[in-house]
């Protein structure tokens, strides 16, 4: 595989790298008080949330479409409508993901590129003011 064709999925280390990022993201959300606001929106058991984010990110990052194979079109914004997401929730989600990327040793340039893409999606998920 040449540098030019490597997807973010490849650069993160494929499925095991993406899984490890998702696990770190939810471990931080579960443990760190600054993410308590978005933690409270999630079910008590984060197992299903971990699997869904992992399946989704594999495809979103250019790898296999596990999420679409299971659930069809992600309709991500519609699926987030039951949860009140404003600027605070968006920023908590982003801070948690940036922390997970850093903890997993993702190189700065890749982490910055991914951060921009995550921000676009997280901002699009806002469904209430404030």
Residue nearer to ligand HEM on the CB measure, 6 or 87: 87
For ligand HEM, which stretch binds (CB under 6 A), given 6-14, 28-36, 51-59, 105-113?
51-59
Among 3, 4, 43, 105, the residue binding ligand HEM under the rule CB under 6 A is 43
- Of 6 and 78, the one with the shorter C-beta distance to ligand HEM is 78
Would you say 36 or 76 has its CB closer to ligand HEM?
Answer: 76
Ordered DSSP codes for 23-78: HHHHHHHHH-GGGHHHHTTS-S--HHHHHHHHHHHHHHTTS--HHHHHHSS--HHH
Question: From the CA atom positions of the chain, what is the Rg in Å?
Answer: 14
């Amino acid at each position: 595989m040449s540098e030019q064709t490597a997807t973010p999925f490849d650069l993160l280390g494929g499925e095991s790298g993406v899984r490890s990022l998702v696990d770190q993201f939810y471990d931080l959300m579960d443990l760190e008080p600054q993410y308590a606001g978005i933690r409270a929106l999630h079910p008590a058991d984060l197992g299903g949330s971990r699997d869904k984010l992992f399946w989704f990110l594999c495809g979103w990052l250019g790898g296999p479409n596990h999420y679409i194979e299971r659930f069809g079109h992600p309709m991500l914004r519609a699926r987030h409508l039951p949860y009140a997401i404003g600027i605070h929730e968006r920023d908590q989600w982003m801070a948690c993901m940036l922390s997970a990327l850093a903890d997993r040793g993702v190189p700065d340039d890749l982490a910055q590129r991914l951060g921009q893409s995550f921000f676009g999606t997280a901002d699009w998920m806002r469904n209430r003011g404030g």
